[in-house]
Structure 1
């Protein structure tokens, strides 16, 4: 049984300090390299660990790779130089190819992302990302992009809470999955559970058809107090399962009204698909001690709600490129289930049927439309599930990857 090893390194600590990140550096959990980078990379958690009553974002930033020219002058209308180096990391075209997704669709859908605090450069950073990859412009001027505080107003926006990488990867991953979708960023006053939950309500009130929440904290006796804010029939609500492997379940992903999104390691392969996936060793999974098992979830060994339901690439070693200038190096490579949640929200929007997802039950009835991920585990020292599906990617349902990953839009 493999275990997830936490190793503090001077290299990663120095890189984190240089990037202005307070979180400790940790060797990136991995079952092997792939994508556009070899294995063995180092990543840092962007946000500090969750404290009682507060959530942590689940973004991880590679500290050993960055760069690529992209189109830094995109917002000013300059074109990419012919010899510009492509950004390191998977591109939107890579992700669409891996998951058999169409390049069009999603018109009329608004994907909201809820985050803590402001990212002052987000619109210009998004412009660079989209121009680099040939995606249509998404701006406040053309009505595609909107930023609001947790009360739904354009100003005043809250102070920066250090979630710059998280916010950038959220808008970039929605863009990668659904280039024609509108994007709504709701910035909570801070990372308290109450303010984040209120921001979900605001996102729905402002017209969101899908809401992605790339944050959470270990479930507790008071987790149910904000659960109702994550239930909006007609709107698909998604949340990341976390980056700490097999552990107690995280809220809000554990709520029965939420699609819980786990993570995989995505690698290129000489197969008909062209890609291979296994469970990412950091992908969160857990058996709830506080929330009852929904009728549509029937795994054998967990009497409560089990996470995850579905998954996508989340391994920093096989992660996508993003562009961010708020506490970030410009072009970077990211991972964590913070990547998979907004990407899957974009996939739901691409299919255009958010009303099918008052919860995850539609996925369980259409699992044949997903890539079944087999291989790898997220077992953590001291939390070994003994070979069980709760921490091992096995045929059909398992904790780290849920029912699998998108294979086109058949399951959505």
Structure 2
């Protein structure tokens, strides 16, 4: 019998018994009727040698590489991926997708064939009221085709990241700004508008609006065109449907808008009204679908040099992640950072101890992934109050995710003065307004609603990045590289306003860097002036 390579880190193994697990999942045996259910499985591949480490060093130094060089030098040769593709085809998988650099393959087969080919036991897992067919144990591949395979994903679709928005409940009114707030118009909903946030973070009067820039948003579905038009009208922004672009990443049926996608698109476009907003709609929040979206961004940047900023407003506590999933996505974030794409990721809305739903604080002390990846900009949350005359008071928002990563070592750029000593990657890097009690206006299904959460912070930061890149282009300067090394060099005034009050449950906001608000909140005018 051929030898096989076991991928222990590609799943979180479950006990053999059926019933309710301590984690709250309900597990039952698969019945024959589920054998014909289609499953999508992803295979992540790694180049030979120390090429990933070499690429990590270049990103940490702020180097930006051509996409073609990233593919040619840091991809996987055709000869190394072809045996896997041939084997999958021989085992009745349909090849859905192959990354341009050969670092990932997506394939689909019926559940019975998946179980047989990968030698996994499939079970039915109910999570959040939805039942999935998932692998109970670790998959394997014949050694002859497994040499460059890093991980096998998609086998536990019941584990997915959660969206980080917080909608103010019906019956609770946001606190109105102080009398005489500089930009507040009399309105039915006393939430903030983009012009309020631009003023609060010194991003007004820049003379640019994000021209020639594209903001990518990774989410499951797009917002309604009518809601976008209504939001722009409400904010005094010219209505231009051509600013919105949709990429249906997996050519799948997309779910209806539920709020997160609308918050992301409206606020990214509101902060940078001259930029295009491209929705990378994945159809679901399964990690394999998110992976495909990240690959597509890397593909698109070759033809869209303005695609230098993107946002993701989702995450899952690191203790609920399979290590192989993290390795797979980290390799994609690394390539995006090397290409000069800054990905802004919300740090979470359940403080320092998020549970597996992302909404409660009953989990272990942990950070959430994807914000903990060292190749993204993790964005935490504050409670922003706009006072008379435009002055701003700001404290840490208790829901702001943050802490120490258990997977990633401390990056060299996070060894700056004021960052506590240690060996772990710390989250978040920066912060922005997130408190739904002092939230931002969103128009969803024609209704004006107030939203908050770090899902508000991340796309707003992506909009700020588009403004900074537009200003750099106007000054004949190159687009920004991966931002984190530069931001930590600019810690403190005048580029950042330090947030020194508040807590996320385990960590306190304090002078200098902290694990609630990171470096603090930005002064965009100063960042434009002082970033090299």
Work out which of the residue numbers 200, 214, 220 in structure 2 matches 1:110: 214
CA deviation string 1:146-205 (max 9, x = no partner): 011115xxxx55331x66200000011112211111110110021011211221221343
Q: How many residues align?
A: 327
- Where does residue 285 of structure 2 map in the other structure? 191
Compute the displacement of 1:67 (Å): 9.8
- Where does residue 87 of structure 1 map in the other structure? 189
- Paired with 2:188 and 2:269, the residues of 1 have a C-alpha distance of 18
Relative to structure 2, which stretch is displaced further, 173-182 or 200-209? 200-209
- Where does residue 254 of structure 2 map in the other structure? 159
2:224 pairs with 1:129: no
Compute the displacement of 1:273 (Å): 5.6
Q: 5 Å matches for 1:39-188?
A: 53-64=159-170, 85-103=187-205, 104-116=208-220, 118-119=221-222, 122-140=224-242, 144-151=243-250, 156=251, 158-160=253-255, 164-188=258-282
Compute the displacement of 1:281 (Å): 0.2
- Where does residue 306 of structure 1 map in the other structure? 426
- Paired with 2:173 and 2:350, the residues of 1 have a C-alpha distance of 27
2:502 pairs with 1:376: yes
Work out which of the residue numbers 349, 363, 372 in structure 1 matches 2:487: 363
CA deviation string 1:376-407 (max 9, x = no partner): 1111xxxx3xxxxxx11111101111101121
- Paired with 2:317 and 2:214, the residues of 1 have a C-alpha distance of 29
- Where does residue 458 of structure 2 map in the other structure? 341
- Where does residue 396 of structure 2 map in the other structure? 279
Question: Contact 2:195/2:204 (CA < 8 Å) preserved in 1?
Answer: no
- Where does residue 521 of structure 2 map in the other structure? 405
Query: Given the superposition, is the C-alpha separation of residues 277 and 57 from structure 1 closer, same or farther in structure 2, using an over 3 Å criterion?
Result: same
- Give the alignment's Cα RMSD to 1 decimal: 2.6
TM-score with structure 1 length normalisation?
0.74
Q: 5 Å matches for 1:167-316?
A: 167-206=261-300, 207=304, 208-219=307-318, 220=321, 221-222=323-324, 223-231=326-334, 232=336, 233=338, 234-247=340-353, 248-269=366-387, 274-298=391-415, 299-316=419-436
TM-score with structure 2 length normalisation?
0.58
- Where does residue 359 of structure 2 map in the other structure? none
Question: Contact 2:224/2:257 (CA < 8 Å) preserved in 1?
Answer: no
- Paired with 1:251 and 1:209, the residues of 2 have a C-alpha distance of 21
Compute the displacement of 1:110 (Å): 0.3
Compute the displacement of 1:366 (Å): 1.5
Work out which of the residue numbers 436, 440, 450 in structure 2 matches 1:320: 440
Compute the displacement of 1:124 (Å): 1.4
Rg larger for: 2
Question: Contact 1:66/1:88 (CA < 8 Å) preserved in 2?
Answer: no
- 3-state SS of the aligned residue for 1:126? helix
- Where does residue 80 of structure 1 map in the other structure? none
Question: Contact 1:136/1:180 (CA < 8 Å) preserved in 2?
Answer: no
- 3-state SS of the aligned residue for 2:450? strand
- 3-state SS of the aligned residue for 1:346? helix
- 3-state SS of the aligned residue for 2:254? coil
Compute the displacement of 1:408 (Å): 2.4
- 3-state SS of the aligned residue for 1:411? helix
- Paired with 1:134 and 1:102, the residues of 2 have a C-alpha distance of 14
Question: Contact 2:195/2:271 (CA < 8 Å) preserved in 1?
Answer: no
- Paired with 1:355 and 1:316, the residues of 2 have a C-alpha distance of 33
Compute the displacement of 1:102 (Å): 2.4
- Paired with 1:92 and 1:175, the residues of 2 have a C-alpha distance of 9
Query: Given the superposition, is the C-alpha separation of residues 244 and 411 from structure 1 closer, same or farther in structure 2, using an over 3 Å criterion?
Result: same
- Paired with 1:65 and 1:411, the residues of 2 have a C-alpha distance of 40
